[in-house]
């Protein structure tokens, strides 16, 4: 009998296996229960594959859409639909990063205790951080061109405007297009990887500030051609002949020759380090979404290509959202706040600020950059264009192949009630300060709280 | 009959009243479910945790059947009916002398003053009263006979009156099993609330017969406990667990297929009767030994009939149609025989022929199940065979070898049965786009709807997993998760685990290996069945399509689960706890 008693451990082993399996499932249930419950196969909350409960509003409670068992109902007109569709998402799920997909468990009101249990079956109302009005303004300002506008509050992290064009009316969803880059469904702001042009000089400038103690005595004689070696490609052409420029002027006039020289002085290794420090090589995490990650190539043995890379050309690719966060970093003393799309506990966020992404650059560096960006506005873009705003910015005109250059305008405002970091990109728009800057000004003005 | 009609009218009135109420007060009606969900979980936790704790904390003090007195070595209490005497530490009576073989002799109690001894082919043999024993034969001896082994002299003495009294006193001091009354009340409350919730959840789709069936189950439960309590039985935890799980079964069936609830009730009643019969029948070991050949014959016939006349359901031909709408699953009933045939007294375990018969019978069963394409059940039988073989022989290397060989066989089967192999493709990948709506359809739905239930469930009748195929059988774990919540689903699994731990714990006080092997074997079957069912539904294992004991809809399986409970009852040696053991004075 004692033998059987000893051998019976094998039954206890089976018990352990059963409990271990159930334990593992319990862990998965806690971790992924929300994902499982909101799977489109769950006919409790999906009708014909479309979520059947929940309401999405903008930051002021303006209802954008409501999911019902009879389909998705839209509020607001055509312009609201097309201007918010990339943020809100579409019923067909062609926009994978839309709120309707990313926040479906919040829409349904899933929680681990109650699951999808809902006595009203109306789901929950979730407020996005975007301002529907600002989105409409941005959509109008882009005026049919391909582009992206992103604005976030660099103190709280709330993305108040996010528009990507081309866009579409979710009520009459177009066919899926083959060409992903030009697709209606593609969100240039979150998923785009674009040549930054001169906006990248803000990264090069950070590297200069932190690595060249003699930068104040730096001067460069710009002859408009700036030949740096043999061959056609070996010149950093500028629009005009800038003459003798110092570091500060070089940024204000966006002198390619001077920034090429600065890049060479800083060196390839340091440039790569600063592209990374500026957060441009990693995806930005926005709630459940991961943006595309930028990439750069700073060759050690090719001064010409290195110079081009230092002024935002060559193989440089940035993601607009990451660029916006870098603006937030400069605005916020070197430590950017993580962007978010869902509005929650605003009161606490306003008191304590949003979640920090850690230190990107020194606070002194940030202060100097900020000062130079103000100088850009004063000297180059004209403060009268941004009346009522305390504007800090940098324009960009990115050469991409032989087509018309892309227009960029990035920066931030530092007003008590309007602390906004922004990025504007217009494909084939032309000059950044001419084309993109007015869009930024118009959108920020539409956000209100800007003294007229 | 009049009485029945009267009740039926009552329940129809109840349905109408509840429905009218919920129509007139829709706001209030939804909140009834909101509150009920909490109460259900609290009641279930109370019922099951009390029963589980009672099972796991009450241990029986072993009974003393006599003393084995060794000259100059003192007396060893004999605590089992079957004992091995030898030098090895794993024997029941250990005599650490070189001249004694590891397993020297088998000592079996036959009755009050009759014992049986057998030489287990020891080196130095045994002499009783100076007569040398033939190793092949067994001999009846009486207390007081002189037993000589390897130069030691010993004898058996019956326990003195005082020692017997002492032992009984000690056993009386054992913690008693928990009294069933509060648990009964809790289950009854649970059942009545289930009736109301089903009306709220199902509306007019619910039938009066389905609800009456739940009420009848409640009445049967009370009758069972009251009758056997009056007869002096004290342990009811296992039955409480079974009645609770059966209530869930009826609720699941009522939600998915109201017209089948009556069948489930009949299966419970049949299973309960069979369990009572088996408990009483198993009190006598000699009856068990005699019935084995009969059971082998009947099982062979049942499986052959199944092979010839079987009909297919979800890919496996393991059903026999009876009449218009009835069908039974012979392999489920054969499970009961399979367990019994694998168990044996200690003496039988030392007989080679017995082992061969068991192996041959197992092979036959596995072959039949393979031919029926019922690989889930085959796996259950095989795992049980492995564990039982190990319990019998203790040969771990053979255990591993057999397992490996079967694994290889399994791979060959997979090669020839692409239908089965395809399930393995989806295994672990059901959430990938390629499988989620195809081979992983049932698993993703199980997890999705199951998670939708949260911890508290959506309420009986409110689920949607029921519209997926085999929801109330193979996917019942998800069904319970959705309608009753994660907590109750996990508690159901814990119940099965508890029965198994209980079976192992009580070997210490076991009388015969036949009872302990029966219990461990039944435990293995329940465990493997639960694992295959639960793990299959949640993608921890390929979906094999077996039932969850007691909970899955299916008459034959439910009946067998109840009957199987007899094997656990037979291992319950707590004082007067189990009706499978004769009453103590």
Is residue B417 predicted with pLDDT exceeding 80? no
In A, minimum Cα distance to B92 occurs at: A2
B-contacting residues of A 229-258, CB under 8 Å?
none
More confident residue, B277 or B114: B277
Closest alpha carbon to B443 in A39, A23, A113: A39
CA of A25 to nearest chain B CA: how many angstroms apart? 8
Q: Show Cβ contacts of residue B388 under 8 Å, excluding neighbours closer than 6 positions.
A: B342, B343, B358, B517, B520, B521, B524
The mean pLDDT of B414-431, rounded to a whole number, is 79
**CATH number 3.40.50.740 is the correct assignment for the domain at B66-173:** no
**Residue A418 DSSP label:** B
| Residue range B336-381, pLDDT digits in tens | 999 999 998 888 888 888 889 999 999 999 989 888 888 889 999 9
Residues of A in contact with B82 (CB under 8 A): 1
Residues of B in contact with A105 (CB under 8 A): none
Which of B391, B448, B520 lies closest to A41 in CB terms? Answer: B448
Is residue A378 predicted with pLDDT exceeding 90? yes
Is residue B416 predicted with pLDDT exceeding 80? no
Interface test with A, best of B447, B460, B510 (most A CBs within 10 A): B447
Instruction: Tell me if chain B has a CB within 8 Å of the CB of A27.
Output: no
**Residue B341 DSSP label:** H
- What distance in Å separates the CA atoms of residue B481 and residue A76, rounded to the nearest whole number? 40
Give the whole-number percent of chain B exceeding pLDDT 90.
52
Mean of per-residue pLDDT scores for chain B:
89
Is residue B414 predicted with pLDDT exceeding 80? no
Which of A18, A19, A112 lies closest to B455 in CB terms? Answer: A112
Residue B5 banded pLDDT, cuts 50, 70, 90: low
Q: Which two tokens stand for residue B251?
A: 């609720």
Residues of A in contact with B516 (CB under 8 A): 1, 4-5, 8
The mean pLDDT of B293-322, rounded to a whole number, is 84
Q: Show Cβ contacts of residue B290 under 8 Å, excluding neighbours closer than 6 positions.
A: none
- What distance in Å separates the CA atoms of residue B206 and residue B461, rounded to the nearest whole number? 9
Q: Which two tokens stand for residue B563?
A: 């009957």
**pLDDT at position B489:** 97
Instruction: Tell me if chain A has a CB within 8 Å of the CB of B394.
Output: yes
**pLDDT at position A400:** 87
Which of A4, A42, A113 lies closest to B507 in CB terms? Answer: A4
Instruction: Tell me if chain B has a CB within 8 Å of the CB of A42.
Output: yes
Residues of A in contact with B31 (CB under 8 A): 119
The mean pLDDT of B79-106, rounded to a whole number, is 90
- What distance in Å separates the CA atoms of residue B570 and residue B430, rounded to the nearest whole number? 42
Instruction: Tell me if chain B has a CB within 8 Å of the CB of A41.
Output: yes
Which range among A159-163, B72-76, B248-252, B355-359 shows the weakest confidence by mean pLDDT?
B72-76
CA of B415 to nearest chain A CA: how many angstroms apart? 28
| Residue range B282-305, pLDDT digits in tens | 998 889 989 999 999 999 999 999
**Residue B466 DSSP label:** G
Evaluate whether B150 touches B97 at the Cβ level (below 8 Å). yes
| Residue range A209-229, pLDDT digits in tens | 999 999 999 999 988 888 887
**pLDDT at position A282:** 95
By CB neighbour count within 10 A (0-12 exposed, 13-18 middle, 19+ buried), where does A305 fall?
A: middle
A-contacting residues of B 166-205, CB under 8 Å?
none
In three-state secondary structure terms, A341 is: coil
**pLDDT at position A450:** 45
Which of A17, A25, A116 lies closest to B538 in CB terms? Answer: A25
**pLDDT at position B423:** 72
Match 């060249």 to its residue by tokens.
A212
**pLDDT at position A452:** 39
**pLDDT at position A451:** 41
- What distance in Å separates the CA atoms of residue B43 and residue B52, rounded to the nearest whole number? 14
The mean pLDDT of B523-536, rounded to a whole number, is 96
Which range among A347-361, B34-48, B266-280, B449-463 shows the weakest confidence by mean pLDDT?
A347-361
Residue B457: C-alpha distances to residues A114, B195, B460, B489 (Å): 7, 16, 8, 10
**Range among A181-190, B26-35, B71-80, B462-471 with highest mean pLDDT value:** B462-471
| Residue range A150-204, pLDDT digits in tens | 999 999 899 999 999 999 998 887 776 666 555 888 999 999 999 999 999 999 9
Q: What domains are defined for chain A? A: 153-162+166-446 (3.40.710.10)
Instruction: Tell me if chain B has a CB within 8 Å of the CB of A351.
Output: no
CB contact under 8 A, B31 and A3: no
| Residue range A414-447, pLDDT digits in tens | 988 889 999 999 999 999 889 999 999 999 999 9
Q: Which two tokens stand for residue A212?
A: 């060249």
**pLDDT at position A283:** 95
Give the whole-number percent of chain A exceeding pLDDT 90.
62
A196: alpha, beta or left? (left if phi > 0; alpha if psi -120 to 50): alpha
Contacts by residues A358-363 (CB-CB < 8 Å, ≥ 24 positions apart) = A359/A334, A359/A335, A360/A277, A360/A278, A360/A279, A360/A326, A360/A329, A360/A334, A360/A335, A360/A336, A361/A206, A361/A210, A361/A277, A361/A278, A361/A329, A361/A330, A361/A334, A362/A210, A362/A334, A363/A333, A363/A334
A-contacting residues of B 300-329, CB under 8 Å?
none
Q: What is the predicted ipTM? A: 0.93
Residue A293 banded pLDDT, cuts 50, 70, 90: very high
Length of chain B: 585
Is residue A348 predicted with pLDDT exceeding 80? no
Q: Which two tokens stand for residue A261?
A: 């020289």
**Domain boundaries along the sequence of chain B:** 66-173, 285-557
Interface test with B, best of A6, A9, A14 (most B CBs within 10 A): A14
B205: alpha, beta or left? (left if phi > 0; alpha if psi -120 to 50): alpha
| Residue range A225-260, pLDDT digits in tens | 888 877 777 788 888 888 999 999 999 999 999 999
Instruction: Tell me if chain A has a CB within 8 Å of the CB of B508.
Output: yes
Give the whole-number percent of chain A exceeding pLDDT 70.
95
DSSP A126-190: EEBS--HHHHHHHHHHHTTSSEEEEEEETTT-BEEEEEEES---GGGPPPPPS-STT-TT--HHH
Residue B407 has phi, psi (to 5 degrees) of -60, -45
Mean of per-residue pLDDT scores for chain A:
89
Evaluate whether B254 touches B214 at the Cβ level (below 8 Å). yes
Which of A41, A117, A120 lies closest to B445 in CB terms? Answer: A41
Residues of B in contact with A112 (CB under 8 A): 454-455
Residues of B in contact with A9 (CB under 8 A): 504
């Amino acid at each position: 009998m004692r033998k059987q008693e000893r051998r019976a451990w094998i039954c206890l082993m089976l018990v352990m296996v059963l409990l271990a399996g159930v334990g593992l499932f319990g862990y998965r249930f806690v971790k992924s229960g929300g994902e499982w419950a909101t799977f489109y196969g769950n006919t409790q909350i999906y009708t014909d594959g479309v979520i059947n409960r929940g309401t999405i509003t903008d930051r002021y409670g303006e209802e954008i859409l409501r999911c019902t068992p009879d389909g998705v109902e839209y509020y607001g007109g055509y312009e609201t639909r097309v201007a918010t569709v990339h943020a809100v998402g579409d019923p067909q799920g062609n926009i994978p990063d839309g709120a309707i997909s990313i926040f479906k468990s919040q829409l349904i009101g899933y929680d681990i205790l109650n699951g999808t249990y809902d006595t009203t079956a109306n789901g929950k109302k979730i407020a996005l951080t975007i301002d529907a009005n600002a989105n409409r303004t941005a959509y109008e300002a882009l005026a049919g061109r391909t582009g992206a506008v992103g604005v976030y509050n660099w103190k709280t992290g709330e993305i108040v405007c996010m528009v990507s064009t081309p866009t579409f009316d979710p009520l009459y969803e177009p066919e899926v297009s083959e060409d992903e880059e030009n697709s209606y469904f593609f969100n240039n702001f979150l998923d785009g990887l674009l040549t930054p042009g001169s906006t990248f000089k803000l990264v090069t400038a950070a590297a200069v500030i932190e690595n060249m103690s003699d930068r104040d005595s730096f001067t460069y004689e710009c002859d408009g051609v700036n030949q740096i070696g043999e061959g056609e490609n070996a010149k950093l052409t500028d629009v005009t002949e800038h003459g003798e420029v110092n570091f500060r002027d070089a940024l204000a006039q966006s002198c390619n020759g001077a920034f090429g020289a600065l890049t060479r002085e800083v060196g390839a290794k340091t440039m790569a380090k600063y592209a990374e420090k500026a957060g441009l090589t990693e995806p930005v995490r926005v709630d459940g979404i991961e943006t595309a990650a930028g990439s750069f190539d700073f060759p050690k043995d090719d001064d010409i290509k290195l110079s081009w890379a230092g002024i935002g050309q060559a193989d440089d690719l940035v993601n607009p959202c990451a660029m916006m966060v870098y603006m937030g970093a400069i605005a916020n003393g070197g430590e950017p706040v993580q962007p978010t799309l869902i509005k929650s506990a605003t009161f606490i966020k306003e008191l304590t600020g949003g979640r920090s992404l850690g230190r990107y650059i020194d606070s002194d560096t940030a202060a100097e950059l900020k000062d130079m960006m103000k100088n850009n506005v004063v000297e180059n873009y004209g403060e009268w264009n941004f009346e009522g705003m305390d504007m800090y910015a940098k324009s960009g005109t990115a050469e991409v192949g032989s087509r018309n250059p892309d227009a960029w305008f990035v920066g931030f405002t530092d007003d008590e009630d309007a602390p906004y970091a922004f990025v504007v990109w217009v494909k084939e728009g032309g000059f950044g300060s001419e084309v993109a800057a007015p869009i930024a000004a118009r959108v920020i003005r539409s956000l209100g709280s800007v003294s007229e | 009959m009049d009485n029945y009609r009267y009740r039926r009218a009552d329940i129809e009135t109840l349905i109408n009243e509840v429905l009218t109420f919920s129509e007139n007060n829709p706001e209030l009606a939804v909140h009834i479910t909101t509150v009920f969900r909490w109460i259900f979980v609290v009641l279930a936790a109370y019922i099951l945790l009390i029963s589980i704790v009672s099972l796991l904390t009450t241990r029986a003090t072993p009974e003393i059947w006599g003393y084995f007195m060794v000259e100059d070595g003192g007396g060893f209490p004999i605590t089992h009916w079957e004992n091995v005497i030898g030098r090895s530490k794993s024997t029941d009576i250990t005599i650490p002398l070189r001249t004694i073989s590891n397993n020297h002799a088998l000592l079996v109690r036959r009755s009050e003053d009759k014992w049986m001894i057998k030489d287990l082919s020891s080196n130095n043999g045994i002499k009783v009263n100076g007569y040398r024993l033939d190793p092949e034969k067994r001999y009846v001896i009486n207390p007081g006979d002189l037993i000589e082994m390897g130069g030691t002299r010993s004898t058996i003495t019956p326990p003195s009156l005082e020692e017997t009294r002492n032992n009984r006193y000690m056993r009386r001091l054992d913690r008693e099993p928990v009294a069933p009354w509060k648990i009964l009340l809790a289950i009854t409350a649970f059942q009545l609330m289930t009736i109301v919730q089903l009306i709220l959840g199902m509306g007019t789709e619910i039938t009066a017969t389905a609800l009456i069936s739940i009420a009848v189950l409640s009445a049967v439960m009370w009758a069972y406990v009251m009758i056997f309590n009056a007869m002096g039985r004290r342990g009811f935890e296992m039955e409480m667990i079974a009645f609770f799980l059966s209530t869930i079964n009826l609720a699941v069936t009522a939600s998915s297929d109201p017209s089948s609830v009556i069948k489930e009730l009949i299966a419970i009643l049949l299973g309960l009767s069979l369990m009572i019969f088996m408990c009483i029948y198993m009190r006598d070991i000699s009856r068990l030994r005699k019935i084995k050949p009969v059971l082998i014959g009947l099982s062979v016939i049942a499986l052959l009939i199944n092979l010839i006349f079987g009909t297919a359901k979800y890919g496996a031909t393991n059903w026999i149609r009876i009449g218009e709408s009835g069908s039974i699953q012979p392999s489920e009933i054969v499970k009961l025989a399979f367990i019994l045939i694998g168990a044996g007294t200690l003496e039988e375990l030392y007989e080679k022929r017995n082992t061969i018969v068991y192996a041959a019978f197992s092979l036959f069963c596995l072959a039949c199940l393979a031919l029926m394409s019922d690989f889930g059940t085959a796996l259950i039988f095989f795992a049980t065979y492995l564990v039982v073989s190990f319990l019998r022989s203790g040969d771990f290397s053979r255990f591993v070898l057999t397992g490996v060989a079967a694994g290889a066989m399994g791979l060959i089967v997979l090669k020839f049965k692409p239908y089965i192999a395809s399930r393995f493709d989806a295994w672990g990948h059901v959430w990938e786009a390629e499988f989620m709506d195809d081979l992983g359809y049932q698993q993703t739905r199980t997890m999705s709807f199951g998670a939708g239930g949260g911890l508290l469930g959506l309420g009986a009748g409110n689920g949607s997993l029921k519209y997926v195929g085999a929801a109330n059988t193979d996917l019942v774990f998800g069904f319970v998760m959705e309608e009753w919540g994660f907590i109750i689903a996990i508690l159901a699994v814990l119940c099965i685990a508890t029965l198994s731990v209980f079976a192992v714990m009580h070997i210490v006080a076991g009388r015969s290996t036949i009872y302990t092997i029966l219990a461990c074997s039944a435990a293995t079957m329940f465990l493997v069945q639960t694992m295959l069912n639960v793990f299959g539904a949640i993608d921890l294992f390929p979906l094999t399509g077996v039932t969850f004991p007691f909970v899955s809809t299916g008459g034959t399986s439910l009946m067998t689960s109840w009957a199987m409970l007899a094997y656990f009852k037979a291992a319950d040696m707590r004082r007067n706890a189990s009706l499978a053991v004769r009453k103590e004075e």
